Chains A and B, each alone.
Chain A
Amino acid sequence: MPSVMLKKNSEGKLIFYVPKKDLEEVAESVEFDTADKWGGEVLLADGSKYYFEPIAPPDFPITLRAKRLDSGEE
């Protein structure tokens, strides 16, 4: 359950940052990203997947807890 710092970059893409692991990656897709719900499975550009409990759309940047689903390759 890493704490993840989420922010939007200048192109409006979601940046996913885990301080402890120096993991800084662009999120490719977010399962739920609508006006009333945000979260679910998040796929990163390096192929790994994380899961966020769906919540009301947060105000980025924000730190949230995520569950690691799939580490991609390795």
Chain B
Amino acid sequence: MAALTKEETEALIQEVLEIYPEQAKKDRAKHLAVNDPTLEKSNKCITSNRKSQPGVMTIRGCAYAGSKGVVWGPIKDMIHISHGPVGCGQYSRAGRRNYYVGTTGVNTFGTMNFTSDFTEKDIVFGGDKKLAKIITEIEGLFPLHKGISIQSECPIGLIGDDIEAVAKKGNKEIDKPVIPVRCEGFRGVSQSLGHHIANDAIRDWVLGNRDGDESFPTTPYDVAVIGDYNIGGDAWASRTLLEEMGLRVVAQWSGDGTLAEIENTPKVKLNLIHCYRSMNYIARHMEEKYKIPWIEYNFFGPTKIAESLRRIASHFDDTIKEGAERVIKRYEAEYQAVIDKYKPRLEGKRVMLYIGGLRPRHVIGAYEDLGMEVVGTGYEFGHNDDYDRTIKEMGNATLLYDDVTGYEFEEFVKRVQPDLIGSGIKEKYIFQKMGIPFRQMHSWDYSGPYHGYDGFAIFARDMDMTLNNPCWKQVKAPWKTEAGSEDVKIAA
């Protein structure tokens, strides 16, 4: 199907909005837009980070998800207590696949669920005593943990428990950091505020812990990887490239990260931000307090990797600049072989994305390297500054949708007829039943890593495996299929 023109896309948005009542229509219209890459600022065309309309099927998460699930959860040598009813922690346990090394239950705790399991009694009489007891118990059962964070669930804020006081007492008792995080789920409009709250908690309770302590030996090439959650091993695939070009990665925030790494981050020379949405706050804070510059980078697909490596190297001396060129050269044959193999099978295919923090814009380059085209993208919880950065990456007259509702997304897909959709688990089966190839782009559909040159090979294979899977031909009854559909080119 040919690409839609600007007028057609605008008409499509109007058509989809038709079903809403007046008020909802007015509100939703602000969140749907046709991309115009010439615009400098996104607020001219799209509104974001607003409360979802009651009654629509939004795909957003909550502040607790943003704090415990995203920012704090992957810090492996700390114990994160899901303070409140049991469900929030249990249903999100280990679902994000933040890989780490260590012995779970002994010195690392990433995939375990610690909860205060609130019952009616705790709501009525308060849960502070229970929390204090949990801290003591944790110290007895898991003596090798490096600290505890208390991740509040909704009831904590509603009943007004004083977790800060319990944390202070616990800190004295066990002589390890005990960090209260006020990330009750009802705060804010989406998980985005949870990221901010979590960043602020790190700023207030962790970052300054080693100020004035010069015992950590530094080098001029120290960097920190910020906003890489090591999903399916992403951070490892990124880290090898940085180390190969001569940099020393002091800290990984927070995939496979430790408390000590985070405390040592103020000693680095440059902060590298991958997920801008969830961790720009802390980078800005470090820039102000410790004068550490930060840059954003993108490790999806060889074009963007080369761009990013050169941009990172430009902040260092010639040895690192040479290192960057050496790394790009070294992997050239490898990624060229991947492109040669998969591009003929994927060329010209159209993709629609609807994801979270950084991927709606970051993965565009990787698709383009494979000759594919992204025809629609959107953020669950992006802000204006995310869309500012997206507009330039996207083609003219492509769709932008913010906090898209289940209905709108389905209608867009029916009309645009993309060859592949990248979104989350809640969308997966709807679109697969509609007969459209689908990849989960939050968890890499249980695959990964997708970052770095090694990740690109896996990315390309996965996209091909999904898109050109023979099963999609079986979705329609044989007597209803069009005769003479084109055959997929056989891989070289």
Spell out A's residues near B (CB within 8 Å): 5, 7, 17, 19, 22-24, 46, 61-63
Contacts and interface: CB of A to CB of B under 8 A. Distances in A.
B41 A7 contact: no
B49 A17 contact: no
A5 B284 contact: yes
22 contacts: A5-B284, A5-B288, A7-B287, A7-B288, A17-B284, A19-B196, A19-B281, A19-B284, A22-B49, A22-B383, A22-B384, A22-B385, A23-B384, A24-B385, A24-B388, A46-B41, A61-B284, A61-B287, A61-B288, A61-B291, A62-B288, A63-B288
Nearest to A6: B288
Interface of B: 41, 49, 196, 281, 284, 287-288, 291, 383-385, 388
Q: Is the interface of A mostly helix, strand, loop or mixed?
A: strand
A46 B284 CA distance: 22
Given A22-B383, A61-B288, A63-B288, 5 more contacts: A7-B288, A19-B284, A22-B384, A23-B384, A61-B291
Contacts of B284: 5, 17, 19, 61
Contacts of A17: 284
Contacts of B385: 22, 24
Nearest to A61: B288
Contacts of A46: 41
B327 to A, nearest CB: 23
A1 B388 CA distance: 25
B33 to A, nearest CB: 17
Contacts of B383: 22
Question: Ordered nearest first, which 9 A-B pairs have the shortest CB separation?
Answer: A22-B383, A22-B384, A61-B288, A22-B385, A61-B287, A24-B385, A5-B284, A63-B288, A62-B288
B40 to A, nearest CB: 8
Contacts of A23: 384
